[in-house]
Amino acid sequence: MPEQREAHEAILDRLNRRLRTLCQCTSTCFQAESEQELLQSICETLVTGGEVRLAWIGYCEDDAEKTVRPVAQAGSGLDYLERVKTSWGEMETGQGPAGIAARTGKACWIDDIRTDPRFSPWRVAALARGYASCIAVPLIAHRKQRGAVDLRGTLNLYSAECNAFDESAIEHYTGLATAVAYAVTALRGHLAEDLAYGVTALRARAERKQAEEALHQAREELAHVTRVTTLGELAASIAHEVNQPLAAIIADANACLHWLEADRPDLDSVREALAAVVKDGDRAAEVITRIRALLSRSSVAHRPCDLAGVIRDVLLLVGPELGRHGTALQTSLATDLPPVMGDRVQLQQVLLNLLLNAAEAVRNVPPERRRLVVRSTLEQRDDGSWAVVAVEDAGVGFREEQTPRLFEAFYTTKPGGLGMGLSISRSIMDRHRGRLWATANPGHGATFHLALPGMR
Ligand SMILES: Nc1ncnc2c1ncn2[C@@H]1O[C@H](COP(=O)(O)OP(=O)(O)OP(=O)(O)O)[C@@H](O)[C@H]1O
Ligand SMILES: [Mg+2]
């Protein structure tokens, strides 16, 4: 009787340990974050459980030798797996428990490694490492649709005792392997979902980037076209500006010729006239250079910019146009403007738009109101120094309720207007981290302000 009790206790003890191991394996199945981590933890838990000396998991490969490739292992005598070859094909190395389990989908075990002929290819190596019996259970998962095999492998356990794997053990480990196979496919499924999500996100990002680039390009194109049309509107004034120095050059050159024909040429006058020719030539060239810059389609490059220089260039371009319409231009320019980061041509374009709008706003008002003031100031704010340029006019102005619409694309109150000037200007300012806004003057007209952060 006491012997029986001892035997029962031993069984109970073994079942208890199995149960604990099984619980640990199940929690690994839920917690593992990668397939490799899952397989490795299962092997380690099984070995720690004390019932097996070596545990390894092999995946079946579709190579010529139908290799069962070990992917995780734990226990003692790990070099065993480096020494032996296991296959799931019909050849000799495929007739062991691992090969049979993988091929047939059924558990296969060896009660005594010393005597079972099926184990002869591995016998010496196994006995040398103290393995006496073993079991292989299939690790197979079928895809839900069409029943295709998603995963084919085996879980292999080796014990130091003969006959270690009885019926209950076979059932137990087969069940465990099924759970592990599910966990693997679940992890792979998540991985696939993650990948699919990642790919979609990447694609969306690429598409958005493409759209942004197209928009950016369209904007640049538009900015360029409007610049060209604006300059077209200025053509008469520009031609005049270039013609003036050219006419002076011709007059001076003629005078020189005249002086040189004399018996005693007045060389001082010739020298003076030639100096004037050079100066006028430079002036004409400068106008042309400025126009060419504005007409250029060169890519936008933000570099340190001298805003005072930008204002000066634009005033030189629109000055003659204002003069033609009897508009007075007054300036009040700060001498201490900090350099700003920006694209010179685009900043010129913004200022040009503001000045042309102002010029148009005063075109049909009484002569005494046909005046513009361009003011530049340096403002110290909490976030550093800002260069502010204001273009003030005493023209038609705008009504309070128009304010939010002024910067909208295609908003115009002019018969021939496009309504793009301010919208383009604002997008240029946005890209310069600057601001552009309008205020109605207390008396007549409007003031448009642009602010750019000074370089730090
Ligand atoms: N200085 C100003 N005084 C009064 N209203 C102005 C002034 N500047 C702009 N506006 C108003 O804002 C509108 C939009 O100006 P915006 O420069 O965007 O277009 P536009 O001048 O009408 O046409 P374009 O595209 O040729 O410049 C103008 O039609 C006008 O009603
Ligand atoms: Mg305009």
Give pLDDT tens digits for 402-430. Answer: 998 999 888 999 887 888 889 889 988 98
Name the residue among 337, 345, 320, 346 with its Cα closest to residue 390.
337
Range with the largest mean pLDDT of 150-164, 178-192, 245-259, 407-421: 150-164
Give the model's confidence band at 334: pLDDT under 50 very low, under 70 low, under 90 confident, else very high: very high
Give distance in angstroms: CA of 455 to centre of ligand 1. Answer: 30
Give me the residues paired with residue 330 across strands: 373
Q: Are the beta carbons of 43 and 57 closer than 8 angstroms? A: yes
pLDDT of 185 reads: 82
Q: State how far the Cα of 394 lies from the Cα of 20, in Å rounded to an integer.
A: 90
Which numbered ligand comes closest to the C-alpha of 417? 1
pLDDT of 299 reads: 64
Q: Is 391 in the pocket of ligand 1 (CB under 6 A)?
A: no
Give distance in angstroms: CA of 421 to centre of ligand 1. Answer: 7
Mean pLDDT of the chain: 87
Give distance in angstroms: CA of 419 to centre of ligand 1. Answer: 6
Residue nearest to atom 19 of ligand 1 (CA): 419
Ligand 1 pocket mutation pick from 410, 412, 428, 441 by most atoms within 8 angstroms of CB:
412
Q: Is 334 in the pocket of ligand 1 (CB under 6 A)?
A: no
Q: Are the beta carbons of 155 and 176 closer than 8 angstroms? A: yes
Length of the chain: 456
Mean pLDDT computed over 106-131 = 95
Q: Are the beta carbons of 379 and 419 closer than 8 angstroms? A: no
Q: Is 437 in the pocket of ligand 1 (CB under 6 A)?
A: no
Give distance in angstroms: CA of 438 to centre of ligand 2. Answer: 13
Q: Is 232 in the pocket of ligand 1 (CB under 6 A)?
A: no
pLDDT of 374 reads: 98
Q: Is 353 in the pocket of ligand 1 (CB under 6 A)?
A: yes
HSE-up (13 A, CA, CB side) for residue 168: 7
Q: Is 31 in the pocket of ligand 1 (CB under 6 A)?
A: no
pLDDT of 376 reads: 97
pLDDT of 262 reads: 85
CATH number of 14-194: 3.30.450.40
pLDDT of 318 reads: 85
Residues within 5 Å of ion ligand 2 by Cβ?
Answer: 357, 421
Residues 41-54 pLDDT 10s: 999 999 998 889 99
pLDDT of 365 reads: 96
Architecture in CATH for domain 234-297: Orthogonal Bundle (1.10)
Q: Is 331 in the pocket of ligand 1 (CB under 6 A)?
A: no
Lowest mean pLDDT among 188-202, 240-254, 270-284, 427-441: 188-202
Give the model's confidence band at 98: pLDDT under 50 very low, under 70 low, under 90 confident, else very high: very high
Q: How many CB atoms lie within 10 A of CB 382?
A: 4
**What is the per-residue DSSP string for 33-96?**
SSHHHHHHHHHHHHHHTTS-SEEEEEEE--STT-BEEEEEEEES-TTHHHH---BSSSSGGGSS
Give distance in angstroms: CA of 421 to centre of ligand 2. Answer: 4
**3 state SS of 21:** helix
| Sequence ranges of the domains in the chain | 14-194, 234-297, 302-456
Residues 275-332 pLDDT 10s: 988 888 888 887 777 777 777 766 677 899 999 999 998 898 888 888 888 999 999 9
Name the residue among 424, 383, 386, 432 with its Cα closest to residue 407.
424
Q: State how far the Cα of 407 lies from the Cα of 396, in Å rounded to an integer.
A: 17
Q: State how far the Cα of 245 lies from the Cα of 242, in Å rounded to an integer.
A: 6
> At a CB cut-off of 8 Å and minimum separation 6, what does 300 contact?
220, 343, 345, 346, 431
Q: Is 398 in the pocket of ligand 1 (CB under 6 A)?
A: yes
Lowest mean pLDDT among 63-77, 201-215, 319-333: 201-215
Nearest atom in ligand 1 to 418's CA: 25
Judge if 14-194 and 234-297 fold alike in CATH terms.
no
Ligand 1 pocket mutation pick from 226, 357, 402 by most atoms within 8 angstroms of CB:
357
Which numbered ligand comes closest to the C-alpha of 413? 1
Give me the residues paired with residue 75 across strands: 54
Give distance in angstroms: CA of 301 to centre of ligand 2. Answer: 24
Which numbered ligand comes closest to the C-alpha of 409? 1
Cα 24-28-29 angle, rounded to 5 deg: 120
CATH match of 302-456 with 3.30.565.10: yes
Q: Is 189 in the pocket of ligand 1 (CB under 6 A)?
A: no
Q: How many CB atoms lie within 10 A of CB 80?
A: 20
Range with the largest mean pLDDT of 201-215, 237-251, 348-362: 348-362
Give me the residues paired with residue 447 across strands: 392, 439
